[in-house]
Amino acid sequence: MTMRDQELSQERETLREGSHFLESLESNQDTRLSKMLARPNFRFTPSIDQVGIQSRTSRLSKRSIKKESKLSGLKLALSMIDLTTLEGQDTEGKVRQLCEKAKRPLSGEFSKLGITVPHVAAVCVYPRFVKTASDTLRGTGIHVASVATAFPSGNSSLEVKIADTQYAIDQGADEIDMVISRGDFLRGEYNKVYDEIALLKEVCKDVHLKVILETGELSTLDNVRKASDIAMYAGADFIKTSTGKVSPAATPEVTLVMLEAIRDFYQRTGKMIGMKPAGGIRDSKTALFYLVMVKETLGPNWLTPDWFRFGASTLTNDLLMQITKQLTGFYQSPDYFSLD
Amino acid sequence: MKQEKDIQMSSETRLSVKKTYKLFIGGQFPRTESGRSFHFESKDRSFQTNLCLASRKDFRNAVKAARGAFKGWSEKATPMLRGQILYRMAEILEDRRVHFTEELSFEGLSQKEATSQVDLAIDRLIHYAGWADKYQQIFSSVNPVQTPYFNFSALEPMGVITAMAATETKESSLLELVSAMAPVIVGGNTLVYLASKKTPLTAISFAEVLQASDLPAGVVNILTGDETELLTHIAGHMDVNAVLYLGSEGESLNNLKLLAVQNLKRVVHEETPDWKNPNTESPYWIQNFQEVKTTWHPIGQ
Amino acid sequence: MQPTEQNFDFKTGTIYAPAPESTSFVELKGRYDLFINGEFAPSTSGRTFKTINPATEVSLAEIAEGNAKDVDLAVQAAKTAYEKTWSKISAKERAKYLFRIARLIQEKSREFAIIESMDGGKPIRESRDIDIPLAAAHFFYYAGWADKLDYAFPGKKVAPLGVAGQIIPWNFPLLMAAWKIAPALATGNTVVLKPAETTPLTALKLAELFQEAELPKGVVNIVTGAGETGAALVSHPDVQKIAFTGSTEIGKLIQKTVAGTNKSTTLELGGKAANIVFEDAPLDQAVEGIVNGIFFNQGHVCCAGSRLFVQEGVADLVIQKLKHRMSSLIVGDPLDKNTDIGAINSKEQLSKIQMLVNAGVDEGGCLYQTSSTLPDRGFWFRPTLFTEVSQSHRIVQEEIFGPVLTIQTFRTIEEVIEKANNTPYGLSAGVWTDKGSKIFTLTSKMRAGVVWANTYNQFDPTSPFGGYKESGMGREGGLHGLAPYLKFVN
């Protein structure tokens, strides 16, 4: 068998597995196949010079954001947070508390001082807790994002991953955060990774699909770029750095590479893709730095929760403290900001 | 008992609080895990203290700390930064000259000799600080090979070095320690130093200078102990890359060389150099603990 | 366009809110005198000139104007110091003076950075992060060589030359002073320095540091003034060595002046470097390198990558990315931490740039400039590109010394090597490619003293810098930077 034959038979295999669960879909198996064959050759993606990237992020980190820009940026960052809890210890109670924090990040004392803040963008939980979150957040405009596809490792069968995703959607998730198969990626099975994402996007339909690359396991920036391109061409609505379970999680370097990938994809196809760095963003200074990167790479259109999210939890209180400091002039104590 | 002499008073009614001399491992001052000690007394008996008698387990821990520190010291710390840290050691030592002059006098030197030793030690640190970003330029080369390759040879540090002070030293422990340590670490290696039992004070006090100098933990570790007892373990440790032996030729050195063969440790021997002589300052001391790596890369399209 | 609060809205604002470096703790005297024999004294003529802030056109201080007589006093002080003090001190002690100076620069780094930006126009981000740290680093590096010269020249014993006359430019005032003074002193020479007339302040503040470091009197002397002061220094009979960084035109004048004498010279002159981007380069990083290569320090850099050569297959893409990147460059107040491109150093320089840019347009080049808002007062120039230009255009041949980049395409490696070398200059070059073997081919074929691969404008005290052909002779920095200040005695 030639390599091309092997690839074709692999794709048919993927398709066969997937189609069990897609009987309700009307699309033609062959159309889907021809779409898959029309994808770019992911063996050749732009090469990234790591030292060059570090030089650019270092330059971007020197931007000094003060006064009006700072306050505006801090509030913007807060509105972009996906408040997250993904622990084995999670319970309905814990998730409910998190949702309350999402709705009202700042305690009542501060509104007396005239300080108001936006609510966060979403909460992010395991599929099991989607219903609790959905019920608690009804009518608030805060989205419910669910991890899926055998998060965080992704090492399960395709059937399980699809079922995991479908369950979350049925429970009421607005957004799905899926993981790519890093093992397949590192073995060079780019088409397999692509097909899986494309399939899961079909399962999601209108539900937003975020694709987690798990950059901490991809080793090189070249790989991060490649994985970004694969995800976007396959139909991702957002590309996301990490599960937060592996270190390093989000870093300025991988974020910049992904932002540049989004920019190039937009220029080639006209389609906007969102970006979400997750894990490792603990303070306001870092959050503002990331916003600077977005602003100077993609421009203002991406600076909304529709197109940029922070996967974080401890960041919230630091932003609140900084916002309060900006408005009152005094450094704050963590005692005055609720921990959920 | 000599109770009255033992009690050191700074005034009629004030009892002094004597420093405990411990080991210096991984940037901290632990006691020896063996709980053993040995006694040190100045010639005129005015100063007495107990020091830790290091065991093979202490040595093992020190090597572990040195190995742990090696990657950061040789890769993350740039040559210029290593130089800056050595320069800071000189600054701190200059700041503490009174302390060290006093300790050297306990070790048997006259006031004049002690002051001179401290001067030399400070200047030696500065000398080697200056080599940090230069020795590479002297010992490296671009090699004009016959075939179309860009070929260059550069030095790389060996790794973890153990240095054993001379037990019959005419010099102070301070100058010997500085002279052995500086070229080893300026080249990116990490060090375990075994001070002589005869003159251990300034070696341990120097550890305080190291701590104050922004030197990362584990880059230099200092033990006080018995050379004869520890020699086998030092010589045979499979994770030590080289040994610097400053004692005289003889049975100990031979044993060292034989046991070192197990992992082909490099053994560098210099018999009690005249550290006071500025000729002993040399980039070849740095080169002694460096490997040479040669790289080829095609020139073409 | 006046800044409004809307401009500072993070999302929609076009610029960031002002982030000015506080200058309140910086103290400038009303008048600065000459520094001769360890003391500050007015010029013998009593004449002074003003140094202004090119961003505001406000005068910062009056500076003493040295004439031939003052130069003579300075040279005599340097000569006496050389014979009586500096050559008598041991090398180790010389080193310690230099270490002290390095340390003091580090300690006063913020003050120096602010004054450098005010006097010369460069962004505070650059003076803070590049100029000042590198200046300290040069003193640290050369301090270390002072007592090690026996190892620097195999088989040879060396001795200093005597008095070095050093003339430095306005683009990196403190850094150039460090590049000159550190190796000269480390090797045992004494110095008379003539800073550029538009940027004397940091050199004079450095003189205050020399006093604080207790540097023996006369070891370094500073005589401020313009072209005539420099000429007096160059032709003074008691100066053994001339070191000059500046334009090729003046460099040639200096060579003529010393032709009949025993003086040795190092010249660090102009350049018109080729920055070459192959189609297999990491393109976004290459674009960053192009931007850094020509817009760093407003393009006031002798080794600036002012001629871009981009392989035809990726030319459109690279130019598009370049224009996008340029749109986020902020031209403005040098003391604002967010400024990328500061003020042009002087009215004269601005006119020169404008004149050449006009020539470029007249000769048929296609001009592109960003739409950055410029402050009302001061000397400014927007980042500029020229396409549709060739080797025979003036702006491709002559050094502009401003934020102006010319862009040409190429098809093969042979073609670009030929075009890159087709210039009387030979200071530097840049090459961007993912393929290592191509890098080494280019580095071996470029007729330039510094070649950067996949980077640009990198400097380090250990790395020798200097030009081929009309870009000068001699090297500064590194082991090779010692030789110009020494002679062999065996």
Distance between CA C381 and CA C402 in Å, rounded?
Answer: 8
Beta bridge partners of C276: C309, C431
* Residue B246, CA distances (Å) to B7, B189, B239, B262, C438 in order: 37, 18, 21, 21, 50
Question: Who among A49, A64, A296 is closest to C454 (CB)?
Answer: A49
Q: Which tokens sit at A293?
A: 């990167």
B237, part of any domain? yes
Does C479 lie in the same domain as C425?
no
Residues in A closer than 8 angstroms to C283, CB to CB, are: 46
Catalytic residue among A82, A164, A174, A177: A177
Q: Residue B124: closest CA among chain C residues belongs to which residue?
A: C92
**Chain B CB within 8 Å of residue C435 CB:** yes
Does C225 lie in the same domain as C329?
no
What number of other Cβ atoms are within 10 A of residue C100's Cβ?
A: 18
Does C258 lie in the same domain as C181?
yes
Catalytic residue among C268, C399, C470, C476: C268
Q: Is C22 helix (H, G, I), strand (E, B) or coil?
A: coil
pLDDT digits (tens, 9 = 90+) for A177-233: 999 999 999 999 999 999 999 999 999 999 999 999 999 999 999 999 999 999 999
Question: Who among B129, B130, B137 is closest to C462 (CB)?
Answer: B137
Q: Give the model's pLDDT for residue A34.
A: 56
Distance between CA C246 and CA C293 in Å, rounded?
Answer: 19
Pairing of strands C264-268, C472-473: antiparallel
Distance between CA C225 and CA B100 in Å, rounded?
Answer: 51
Domain of residue C320, residue span:
274-453
The count of residues in chain A is: 340
Please name the amino acid found at residue C274.
A
User: Does residue B1 carry a pLDDT above 50?
Assistant: no
Contact partners for chain B, using 3 or more CB pairs closer than 8 A, are: C
C366 is catalytic: no
B257, part of any domain? yes
Q: How confident is the model at residue B118 (pLDDT cuts 50, 70, 90)?
A: very high
Crossing angle, helix A67-79 and helix A284-297, to 10 degrees? Answer: 90
* Residue C31, CA distances (Å) to A61, C43, C50, C61 in order: 38, 12, 9, 5
Q: A72 and C11 in contact by Cβ < 8 A?
A: yes
Mean pLDDT, range B183-196, rounded to an integer? 97
C284, part of any domain? yes
Does C52 lie in the same domain as C155?
yes
Residue C142: half-sphere exposure toward Cβ, Cα within 13 Å: 32
CA distance C325 to chain A (A): 8
Cβ atoms of A280 and A315 within 8 Å: the answer is no
Does C213 lie in the same domain as C349?
no
pLDDT digits (tens, 9 = 90+) for C379-415: 999 999 999 999 999 999 999 999 999 999 999 999 9
Pairing of strands C274-277, C428-432: parallel
C71, part of any domain? yes
Q: Give the model's pLDDT for residue C22.
A: 86
Q: Give the model's pLDDT for residue B272.
A: 75
Q: Residue A295: closest CA among chain C residues belongs to which residue?
A: C11
Distance between CA C95 and CA B129 in Å, rounded?
Answer: 11
Please name the amino acid found at residue B230.
L
Q: Give the model's pLDDT for residue B32.
A: 97
B12, part of any domain? no
Beta bridge partners of B194: B164, B223
Does C260 lie in the same domain as C318?
no
Residues in A closer than 8 angstroms to C282, CB to CB, are: 46-49, 52
Distance between CA B157 and CA B190 in Å, rounded?
Answer: 9
Does C302 lie in the same domain as C258?
no
Beta bridge partners of A177: A147, A210
DSSP annotation string for C370-427? ------SSS-----EEEES--TTSHHHHS---SSEEEEEEESSHHHHHHHHH-SS--S
Domain of residue B292, residue span:
22-40+49-298
Q: C440 and B298 in contact by Cβ < 8 A?
A: yes
Question: Who among C8, C12, C125 is closest to A62 (CB)?
Answer: C125
Q: Give the model's pLDDT for residue B10.
A: 52
The domain A39-336 is placed in CATH, from the list 2.60.120.560, 3.20.20.70, 3.40.50.300, 3.40.50.620, at 3.20.20.70
* Torsion angle in degrees (nearest 10) through CA of C36, C38, C41, C44: -20
**Chain C CB within 8 Å of residue B134 CB:** yes
B16, part of any domain? no
**Chain C CB within 8 Å of residue A49 CB:** yes
Mean pLDDT, range C6-17, rounded to an integer? 76
The reply to whether omega before B298 is within 30° of 0 (cis) is no
Domains contained in chain C, number: 2
Placement of tokens 């409910």 in the chain: A96
C285, part of any domain? yes
The H or E element that residue C363 is part of is none
The H or E element that residue C451 is part of is strand C450-453
Domains contained in chain B, number: 1
Mean pLDDT, range C98-122, rounded to an integer? 97
Q: How confident is the model at residue B3 (pLDDT cuts 50, 70, 90)?
A: very low
User: Does residue B2 carry a pLDDT above 50?
Assistant: no
Residues in A closer than 8 angstroms to C5, CB to CB, are: 68
Q: Give the model's pLDDT for residue A17.
A: 57
Cβ atoms of C295 and C470 within 8 Å: the answer is no
**Chain B CB within 8 Å of residue C317 CB:** no
Does C94 lie in the same domain as C214?
yes
Q: Give the model's pLDDT for residue C151.
A: 96
Q: Which tokens sit at C193?
A: 């320095």
DSSP annotation string for B53-89? ---HHHHHHHHHHHHHHHHIIIIIS-HHHHHHHHHHH
Q: Which tokens sit at B76?
A: 């993350």
User: Does residue C120 carry a pLDDT above 50?
Assistant: yes
Cβ atoms of C426 and C469 within 8 Å: the answer is yes
A276 is catalytic: yes
Residues in C closer than 8 angstroms to B84, CB to CB, are: 140
Side by side, the strands of the sheet bearing B266-269 are B220-224, B190-195, B160-164, B242-245, B266-269
C463, part of any domain? no
Mean pLDDT, range C64-89, rounded to an integer? 98
* B38/A6: higher pLDDT: B38
A103-118 burial, b at 16+ Cβ within 10 Å, e below that, comes to: eebbeeebeeeeeebe
Beta bridge partners of B193: B163, B222
User: Does residue A109 carry a pLDDT above 90?
Assistant: no
The helix/strand count (H/E) of chain A reads as 14, 8
Does C299 lie in the same domain as C261?
no
A–C interface: beta-carbon pairs under 8 A: 83
What number of other Cβ atoms are within 10 A of residue C316's Cβ?
A: 11
Q: C282 and A66 in contact by Cβ < 8 A?
A: no
pLDDT digits (tens, 9 = 90+) for C246-263: 999 999 999 999 999 999
B3, part of any domain? no
B245, part of any domain? yes
Q: Assign residue C375 the CATH number of its domain.
A: 3.40.309.10
Own/partner contacts of B280-286, CB < 8 Å, gap of 24 or more, are B280/B179, B281/B124, B281/B127, B281/B128, B281/B179, B283/B131, B283/B134, B283/B135, B283/B138, B283/B139, B283/B183, B283/C148, B283/C151, B285/B179, B285/B183, B285/B184, B286/B128, B286/B131, B286/B135, B286/B183, B286/B184, B286/B186, B286/B187
* Residue C484, CA distances (Å) to B104, C121, C178, C475 in order: 44, 31, 15, 8
Max CA pair span of chain B: 85
User: Does residue A10 carry a pLDDT above 90?
Assistant: no
pLDDT digits (tens, 9 = 90+) for A267-277: 999 999 999 99
A240 is catalytic: yes
Cβ atoms of B287 and B139 within 8 Å: the answer is yes
- Positive or negative, the CA dihedral C156, C159, C163, C164 is positive
State the best of C6, C11, C129, C277 to mutate against chain A, taking most chain A CBs within 10 Å.
C11
Mean pLDDT of all residues in chain C?
95
Mean pLDDT, range A18-26, rounded to an integer? 45
pLDDT digits (tens, 9 = 90+) for C179-203: 999 999 999 999 999 999 999 999 9
A257-274 burial, b at 16+ Cβ within 10 Å, e below that, comes to: bbbbbbbbbbeeeeeebb
C448, part of any domain? yes
Distance between CA B281 and CA A311 in Å, rounded?
Answer: 56
Q: C140 and B137 in contact by Cβ < 8 A?
A: no
Least confident interval from B246-260, C52-66, C353-367: B246-260
Q: How confident is the model at residue A30 (pLDDT cuts 50, 70, 90)?
A: low
Distance between CA A339 and CA A335 in Å, rounded?
Answer: 9
Least confident interval from A38-42, B101-105, C242-246: A38-42
What number of other Cβ atoms are within 10 A of residue C206's Cβ?
A: 25
Mean pLDDT of all residues in chain B?
92
Placement of tokens 């350049």 in the chain: C271
Q: Assign residue B101 the CATH number of its domain.
A: 3.40.605.10
Q: Give the model's pLDDT for residue A22.
A: 45
Q: Is C80 helix (H, G, I), strand (E, B) or coil?
A: helix
Does C294 lie in the same domain as C261?
no
Catalytic residue among C65, C116, C302, C303: C302
Task: Enumerate residues 6+ apart whose C-beta is below 8 A from A117.
Answer: A75, A78, A105, A106, A320, A323
Distance between CA B167 and CA B199 in Å, rounded?
Answer: 8
Q: B298 and C437 in contact by Cβ < 8 A?
A: yes
Mean pLDDT, range A301-311, rounded to an integer? 96
Distance between CA C384 and CA C88 in Å, rounded?
Answer: 54
**Chain C CB within 8 Å of residue B301 CB:** yes
Does C402 lie in the same domain as C377?
yes
C10, part of any domain? no
Distance between CA A83 and CA A314 in Å, rounded?
Answer: 9
Residues in B closer than 8 angstroms to C140, CB to CB, are: 80, 83-84, 87
